[in-house]
């Protein structure tokens, strides 16, 4: 049976370290600084200048009035930490250590959110973030060393997209700055020419 560590002949490279350094600010932007910028209408800045503590697991899921919010939160938390798990595995060569790094990173973020009133500190975020890191580490392990370069580039591309969205943030989805599209109505159905 294959152990959950990578082949020993592949040591961490400077590219792995630089990829982590490039990705960490994405985590900070999308967890601790959401009260200071927006990407379109994904969230409201003012809703992140709060201090709340949610220690009951799955509270948001069971108490939700719609399905979209909880699903968006779960998937978002996992997706955000998949690249961290991938990059951590490339550095640490262990699923266990990469997952623990994801857990520790998420815990630091959640504590900072509470201490500095930067959003809701939620046990579910810790769970889903750690699950994302675990999945990312497992994915790199399962696909092998030969595919690691591709995964690193995918992580860098994801981070770059987030940086671009951050820079464009307020211009995305703002009704005052939207470009009208002549052939589409507000309902998304083709307009009828008169």
Report pLDDT for 49.
76
State the chain's mean pLDDT as an integer. 84
Report pLDDT for 152.
96
CA distance 169 to 39: 4
Question: Environment class of residue 90 by beta-carbon count within 10 Å: exposed (0-12), middle (13-18) or buried (19+)?
Answer: buried
CA distance 110 to 77: 12
Q: Nearest-CA neighbor of 134 among 90, 91, 84, 93?
A: 84
The number of angstroms, rounded, from the C-alpha of 13 to the middle of its chain's C-alpha atoms is 24
Residue 190 has pLDDT above 60, yes or no: no
Q: Which range (5-9, 11-15, 54-58) has the least confidence? A: 5-9
What is the pTM assigned to this prediction?
A: 0.80
Residue 180 has pLDDT above 70, yes or no: no
* pLDDT, tens only, 136-151: 999 999 999 899 999 9
Contact 105, 162 (CB under 8 A): no
Tokens standing for residue 135: 């999945």
Report pLDDT for 184.
41
Contact 22, 156 (CB under 8 A): yes
Counting runs of H as helices and runs of E as strands, what totals does the chain give? 6, 2
Domains of the chain, residue spans: 14-177
CA distance 125 to 58: 10
CA 173, 30, 163 angle in degrees (round to 5)? 65
CA distance 122 to 68: 18
* pLDDT, tens only, 79-126: 999 999 999 999 999 999 999 999 999 999 999 999 999 989 999 999
Q: Nearest-CA neighbor of 87 among 7, 12, 163?
A: 12
């Amino acid at each position: 049976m294959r152990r959950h560590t990578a082949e020993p002949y592949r040591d961490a490279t400077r590219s792995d370290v630089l990829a982590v350094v490039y990705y960490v600010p994405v985590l900070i932007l999308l967890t601790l600084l959401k009260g200071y910028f927006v990407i379109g209408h994904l969230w409201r800045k003012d809703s992140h200048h709060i201090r709340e503590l949610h220690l009951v697991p799955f509270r948001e899921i069971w108490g939700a009035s719609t399905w979209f919010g909880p699903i968006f939160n779960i998937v978002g938390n996992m997706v955000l930490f998949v690249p961290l798990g991938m990059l951590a595995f490339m550095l640490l060569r262990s699923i266990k250590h990469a997952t623990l790094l994801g857990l520790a990173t998420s815990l630091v973020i959640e504590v900072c959110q509470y201490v500095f009133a930067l959003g809701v500190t939620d046990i579910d975020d810790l769970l889903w973030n750690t699950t994302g890191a675990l999945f990312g580490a497992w994915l790199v392990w399962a696909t092998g060393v030969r595919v690691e370069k591709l995964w690193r580039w995918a992580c860098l591309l994801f981070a770059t997209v987030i940086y671009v969205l951050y820079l464009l943030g307020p211009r995305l989805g703002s009704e005052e700055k939207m470009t009208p599209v002549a052939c589409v109505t507000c309902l998304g159905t083709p307009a009828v020419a008169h």
